[in-house]
């Protein structure tokens, strides 16, 4: 008996909508990564992209537990010697809340070429409005 391997035509993609208001960042990101990867489907295969689209709204109102607001750092390097920039979670959530959510989800996906495809299906918005109403996204309770 041969092992079933899904083809691109076998994958039916759905749209899900997540409200990030008062959600914990890590718990939400791990559940979003599971949907993007397609692990919730019976046709899941690790080498085939079987995931769905996820819309995250209210990214500005996400929360962290404990003292991570002051103790959690995000780093970026400009490429020049000595030019590493560090920002606390509090600074990042004020300036770039979309980046905070995307980095959290990206860290929970496998580090390969499929991750780039999966990340393209993640849509994050600061506020409550998004331009994807035509896709009729389902509310996803995490």
Averages of pLDDT over each 10 residues, the chain, 142 residues = 89 97 96 97 94 97 93 95 95 96 97 96 97 96 84
State pTM to two decimals.
0.93
Tokens 């899941």 locate to 44
| Residue-level pLDDT at 142 | 80
Task: Indicate left, alpha or beta for 117 from its phi (over 0: left) and psi (-120 to 50: alpha).
Answer: alpha
14-65+96-139 CATH pick, 3.40.50.1950, 3.40.50.670, 3.30.470.20, 3.90.1180.10: 3.90.1180.10
Report the C-alpha gap between 54 and 51 in whole angstroms: 9
| Residue-level pLDDT at 1 | 82
Domain boundaries, the chain: 14-65+96-139
From first CA to last CA, the distance across the chain in angstroms is 37
DSSP 45: -
Residues 6+ apart with CB under 8 A from 77: 83, 84, 85
β 53-57/122-124 pair status: parallel
| Residue-level pLDDT at 66 | 93
| Residue-level pLDDT at 4 | 87
Tell me the CA distances in angstroms from 25 to 45, 53, 60, 110, one per residue in order.
27, 19, 11, 18
| Residue-level pLDDT at 3 | 86
């Amino acid at each position: 008996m041969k092992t079933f391997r899904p083809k691109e035509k076998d994958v039916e993609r759905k749209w899900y909508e997540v409200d990030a208001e008062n959600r914990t960042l890590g718990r939400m990101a791990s559940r979003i990564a599971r949907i993007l990867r397609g692990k919730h489907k019976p046709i899941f295969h690790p080498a085939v992209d079987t995931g769905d689209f996820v819309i995250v709204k209210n990214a500005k109102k996400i929360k962290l537990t404990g003292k991570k607001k002051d103790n959690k750092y995000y780093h970026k390097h400009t490429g020049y010697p000595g030019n590493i920039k560090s920002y606390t979670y509090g600074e990042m959530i004020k300036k770039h809340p979309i980046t905070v959510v995307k980095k959290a989800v990206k860290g929970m996906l496998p580090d390969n070429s499929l991750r780039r495809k999966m990340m393209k299906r993640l849509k994050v918005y600061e506020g409550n409005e998004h331009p994807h109403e035509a896709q009729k996204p389902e509310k996803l309770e995490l």
